[in-house]
């Protein structure tokens, strides 16, 4: 992409983006004031929970692994964290079964704790095998 | 060139914060930065675009009178678009988290002192906060909705729709601002020159390639574990799907007859369907309905929550009812349920759907009379429509003039 194409694309994207976001805020304004406040609370809550809680936790974990973890363990651990962390968040609604209704047995009808446990066990097993393989390789090198 | 000045000495609360908060350069991982952010961001943007477009389609399909006539074929259309909607949103969770990780140090940039630069800085921060807040909002509310969990007081549909525009608009604005950085970063090689080796850098540190592969893997695992139930043959893999797909007559239930408060009315032997149209009003018993021309069709119930299940439905084609009521091919059909509470008590079938031979007022599912939870004595089932519009426990069918095209 040459400079001119980038400039045109930026202008078009920026204009469309501002218009779209403005339209969304307009739509939001049609809700009851109480509902708008609650939407605002959830939007702000998402930023606060990520930036103030989740991200610092991951930074601390990363620092711990970088400082204490042996080299052969680092890639397997990063993989396990990147796969299991988001999956755990995605699984919260089904693990908690918060939406379950006594009159509807077809909703949330799987053994989620067992299913989640099976996925975690699988990832831990693969992580362990990968770590052992890397440890042997690193010993052979030295 | 003069060395950049470190700026004023901050005092009071600002100084206290400045001393305690980390600085961007203190984050040591080499894997953060534009090269990771651009690549993960491109896939995140693609997922959010798919979710936005399929979401708008779903929204249009749920309007009483869509802005343009929506296609009635293929019958699985809505099943596919809504499955994509939920899958794209699920894949966006790991992509968003890794994307935010890759740019997290920027959160700790100190604001510049000059007023003009400060204003631009604050404007950019505000737009990023809106973007992150809106996208997190969409993913959280969407995932909770698919498990029918509503831990908030706002109405899900209008809030999710409004915030979709905010999120997508803020995303387009963000891409416009960052485009030169993105173009430059995507042209640069993935590997930092001093980190050589297959996927292990110096001291065994993960490389960018290893991190990106783990991210794609994470998105794949999340989608398979929650959404694979919709793909034939993969149902067993979907250990975290909100529904196993089991249910009375082989189809899951969204709202039961008990929850809809119709158990008394549907058990009443004197039940009659009220049919109104240009030829006036008439009442039809279940026997009358069975005496009308019948048709069977294999159609999916495809819910906004992302699940779907197909069944063989049989009953009276809606167009037979339109003809009986004295209507024509240009007429819409309004179907009203007997349910006394809950949303989606009625739906409007646009003329092109009412004309479709497979749009049925179904009496049977899988060769048996409908289960009470599937809408006994009769329900609407039409191709390529959201599940919430497939009105159950129908009490009244009204033929009305269609919207002029």
Task: State the average pLDDT for chain A.
Answer: 93
**What number of other Cβ atoms are within 10 A of residue A127's Cβ?**
20
pTM recorded for the entire structure: 0.92
Q: How far is B228 from chain A (nearest CA, A)?
A: 14
Paired sense of beta strands B295-302 and B273-277, if any: unpaired
How confident is residue A1, by pLDDT bands cut at 50, 70 and 90? low
Are the Cβ atoms of A82 and B215 closer than 8 angstroms? yes
Return the pLDDT at A51. 96
C-alpha distance from residue B336 to each of B262, B274, B392 (Å): 13, 10, 9
Are the Cβ atoms of B97 and A115 closer than 8 angstroms? no
Smallest Cβ distance to A98: which of B149, B175, B259? Answer: B149
Are the Cβ atoms of A78 and B177 closer than 8 angstroms? no
Return the pLDDT at B203. 56
Return the pLDDT at B5. 45
DSSP A109: -
Q: Write the secondary structure of chain B as one string of H (helix), E (strand) and C (coil).
A: CCCCCCCCCCCHHHHHHHHHCCCHHHCCCCCCCHHHHHHHHHHHHHHHHHHHHHHHHHHHHHCCCCCCCCCCCCCCHHHHHHHHHHHHHHHHHHHHHHHHHHHHHHHHCCCCCCHHHHHHHHHHHHHHHHHHHHHHHHHHHHHHHHCCCCCCCCCHHHHHHHHHHHHHHHHHHHHHHHHHHHHHHHHCCCCCCCCCCCCECHHHCECHHHHHHHHHHHHHHHHHHHHHHHCCCCHHHCCCCCCCCCCHHHCCCCCCHHHHCCHHHHHCCCCCEEEEECCEEEEECHHHHHHCCCEEEEEEEECCCCCEEEEEEEEEEHHHHHHHCCCCCCEEEEEEECCCCCCCCEEEECHHHHHCCCCEEEEEECCEECCHHHCCCCEEECCCCEHHHCCCCEEEEEEEECCCC
Return the pLDDT at B148. 93
- Give the H/E segment covering residue A50: none
Q: How far is B358 from chain A (nearest CA, A)?
A: 26
B247 inside 8 A of chain A by CB: yes
Return the pLDDT at B227. 85
C-alpha distance from residue B230 to each of A112, B226, B227, B308 (Å): 17, 9, 6, 7
Q: How far is B359 from chain A (nearest CA, A)?
A: 25
Rounded distance, CA B330 to CA B333, Å? 10
List per-residue pLDDT tens for chain B, 405 residues long: 344 445 566 778 888 888 889 999 888 788 899 999 999 999 999 999 999 999 999 999 988 788 888 999 898 999 999 999 999 999 999 999 999 999 999 999 999 989 999 999 999 999 999 999 999 999 999 999 999 999 999 999 999 999 999 999 999 999 999 999 999 999 988 766 554 444 455 556 788 999 999 999 999 999 999 987 767 777 778 999 999 888 999 999 999 999 999 999 999 999 999 999 999 999 999 999 999 999 999 999 998 888 889 999 999 999 999 999 999 999 999 999 999 777 788 999 999 999 999 999 999 999 999 999 999 999 999 999 999 999 999 999 999 998 765
Residues in B 124-153 with any Cβ partner in A closer than 8 A = 129-130, 132-134, 136-137, 140-141, 143-144, 146-153
Query: Residues 6 or more apart from B382 whose CB is under 8 A from it?
Result: B72, B299, B318, B349, B353, B356, B358, B359, B360, B389, B390
Q: Predicted ipTM? A: 0.96
Return the pLDDT at A2. 74
Residues facing B398 on adjacent strands: B276, B334
Return the pLDDT at B235. 77
Which has more confidence, B228 or A61? Answer: A61
Are B168 and B56 within 8 A, CB to CB? no
Instruction: Show the tokens assigned to B216.
Output: 């794609």
Residues facing B379 on adjacent strands: B362
Rounded distance, CA B195 to CA B209, Å? 11
Rounded distance, CA A70 to CA B205, Å? 10
Q: List b or e across B66-93, with b for residues whose CB sees 16 or more CB atoms inside 10 angstroms.
A: beeebebeebbbbbbbbbbbbbbbbbbb
B108 inside 8 A of chain A by CB: no
Q: Report the Cα–Cα distance between both ends of chain A, in Å, rounded.
A: 47
pLDDT digits (tens, 9 = 90+) for B296-346: 999 999 988 888 899 999 999 999 999 999 999 999 999 999 997 777 889
Query: Residues 6 or more apart from B100 whose CB is under 8 A from it?
Result: A50, A55, B132
Return the pLDDT at B198. 47
B275 inside 8 A of chain A by CB: no
């Amino acid at each position: 992409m040459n400079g001119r194409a980038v400039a045109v694309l930026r202008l078009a994207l920026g204009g469309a983006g501002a218009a779209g976001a403005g339209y969304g805020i307009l739509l939001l304004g049609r809700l009851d004031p109480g509902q708008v406040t609650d939407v605002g609370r959830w939007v702000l809550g998402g930023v606060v929970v990520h930036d103030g809680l989740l991200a610092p936790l991951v930074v601390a974990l990363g620092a711990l692994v970088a400082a204490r973890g042996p080299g052969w363990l680092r890639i397997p651990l990063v993989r396990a964290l990147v796969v299991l962390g988001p999956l755990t968040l995605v699984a919260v609604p089904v693990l908690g079964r918060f939406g379950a209704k006594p009159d509807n047995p077809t909703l949330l009808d799987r053994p989620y704790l067992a299913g989640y446990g099976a996925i975690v066990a699988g990832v831990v097993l693969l992580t362990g095998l990968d770590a052992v393989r890397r440890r042997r390789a690193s010993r052979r090198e030295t | 060139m003069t060395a950049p000045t470190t700026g004023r000495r901050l005092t009071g609360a600002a100084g206290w914060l400045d001393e305690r908060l980390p600085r961007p350069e203190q984050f040591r991982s080499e894997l953060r930065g534009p090269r990771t952010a651009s690549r993960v961001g491109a896939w995140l943007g693609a997922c959010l675009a798919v979710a936005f477009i399929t979401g708008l389609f779903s929204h249009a399909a749920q309007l009483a009178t869509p802005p343009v006539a929506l296609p009635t074929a293929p019958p699985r259309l809505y099943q596919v678009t809504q499955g994509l909607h939920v899958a794209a949103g699920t894949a966006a969770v790991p992509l968003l988290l890794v994307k935010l990780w890759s740019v997290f140090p920027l959160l700790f940039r100190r604001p510049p002192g000059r007023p003009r630069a400060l204003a631009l800085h604050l404007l950019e921060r505000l737009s990023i906060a809106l973007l992150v807040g809106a996208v997190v909002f969409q993913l959280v509310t969407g995932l909770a909705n698919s498990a029918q969990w509503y831990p908030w007081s706002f109405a899900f549909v209008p809030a999710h729709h409004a915030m979709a525009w905010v999120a997508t608009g803020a995303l387009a604005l963000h891409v416009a601002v960052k485009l030169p950085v993105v173009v430059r970063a995507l042209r640069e090689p993935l590997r930092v020159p001093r980190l050589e080796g297959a996927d292990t850098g110096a001291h065994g540190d993960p490389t960018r390639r290893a991190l990106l592969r783990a991210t794609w893997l994470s998105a794949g695992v999340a989608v398979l574990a929650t959404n694979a139930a919709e793909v034939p043959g993969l149902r067993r893999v979907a250990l975290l799907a909100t529904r196993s797909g089991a249910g009375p007559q082989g189809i899951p239930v969204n709202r039961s007859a008990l929850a809809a408060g119709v158990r008394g009315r549907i058990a009443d032997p004197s039940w009659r369907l009220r049919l109104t149209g240009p030829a006036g009003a008439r009442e039809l018993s279940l026997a009358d309905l069975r005496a009308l021309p019948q048709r069977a069709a294999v159609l999916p119930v495809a819910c906004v929550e992302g699940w779907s299940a197909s069944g063989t439905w049989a009953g009276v084609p809606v167009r037979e009812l339109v003809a009986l009521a004295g209507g024509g091919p240009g007429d819409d059909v309004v179907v009203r349920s007997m349910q006394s509470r809950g949303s989606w008590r009625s739906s409007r079938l646009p003329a092109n759907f009412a004309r479709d031979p497979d749009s049925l007022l179904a009496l049977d599912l899988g060769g048996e009379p409908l289960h009470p939870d599937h809408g006994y004595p009769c329900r609407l089932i039409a191709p390529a429509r959201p599940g919430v519009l497939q009105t159950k426990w129908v009490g009244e069918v009204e033929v009305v003039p269609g919207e002029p095209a």
